[in-house]
Amino acid sequence: MNQDSTVTPTRTQSDYIGRFAPSPSGPLHFGSLVAALGSYLRARSLGGKWLVRIEDIDPPREVTGAADMILQTLSAYGLNWDGDILYQSQRLDAYQAKIDKLLSQDQAYYCQCTRKQIQAMGGSYDGRCGRLDSPHTHGAIRIRNTAGVERFQDLHMGDVCLDTDFATEDFIIKRSDGLYAYQLAVVMDDAFQGITEVVRGCDLLTPTCRQISLNQQFSYQSPLWLHLPLVCDAPGMKLSKQNHAQAIDTDKPQTSLNAALTFLGQQAVTPQSDIREMLAEAVAQFDLSAIPKQAEIVL
Among the candidate windows 6-14, 16-24, 150-158, 268-276, which touches ligand GLU by CB under 6 A? Answer: 16-24
Q: How far apart are CA 168 and CA 75, in angstroms?
A: 40
Among the candidate windows 17-25, 42-50, 93-101, 225-233, which touches ligand GLU by CB under 6 A? Answer: 17-25
Q: Binding to ligand GLU by residue 21, rule CB under 6 A?
A: yes
Q: Is 266 exposed, middle or buried (0-12, 13-18, 19+ CB in 10 A)?
A: buried
Q: Binding to ligand GLU by residue 56, rule CB under 6 A?
A: no
Q: Binding to ligand GLU by residue 4, rule CB under 6 A?
A: no
Q: Which is nearer to ligand GLU, 174 or 200 (CB)?
A: 200
Q: Binding to ligand GLU by residue 202, rule CB under 6 A?
A: no
Q: Which is nearer to ligand GLU, 70 or 111 (CB)?
A: 70
Q: Which is nearer to ligand GLU, 27 or 130 (CB)?
A: 27
Q: Annotation-wise, does 253 bind a ligand?
A: no
Strand partners, 200: 227
Among 4, 36, 55, 188, binds ligand GLU (CB under 6 A): 55
The 10 Å CB-count burial string (b at 16+, else e) for 204-242 is bbeebbbbbbbbebbebebbebbbbbbbbeeeeebbbbe
Q: Which is nearer to ligand GLU, 111 or 226 (CB)?
A: 226
Side chain identity at residue 201, one-letter code: G
Q: How far apart are CA 146 and CA 177, in angstroms?
A: 25
Q: Annotation-wise, does 209 bind a ligand?
A: no
Among 34, 204, 260, 261, binds ligand GLU (CB under 6 A): 204
Rounded least distance, CB 153 to ligand GLU, Å: 17
Q: Annotation-wise, does 286 bind a ligand?
A: no
Rounded least distance, CB 186 to ligand GLU, Å: 5
Q: Binding to ligand GLU by residue 23, rule CB under 6 A?
A: yes
Q: Annotation-wise, does 125 bind a ligand?
A: yes
Q: How far apart are CA 295 and CA 36, in angstroms?
A: 17
Q: Binding to ligand GLU by residue 186, rule CB under 6 A?
A: yes
Q: Which is nearer to ligand GLU, 65 or 271 (CB)?
A: 65
Q: Annotation-wise, does 39 bind a ligand?
A: no
Q: How far apart are CA 219 and CA 208, in angstroms?
A: 16
Number of residues that bind ligand GLU (CB under 6 A): 7
Q: How far apart are CA 194 and CA 176, in angstroms?
A: 30
Among 18, 22, 130, 148, binds ligand GLU (CB under 6 A): 22
Q: Which is nearer to ligand GLU, 204 or 275 (CB)?
A: 204
| Binding annotation for L-glutamate | 19-23, 55, 182, 200
Query: Which residues of this chain interact with ligand GLU, rule CB under 6 A?
Result: 21-23, 55, 186, 200, 204
| Known binding-site residue numbers for Zn(2+) | 111, 113, 125, 129
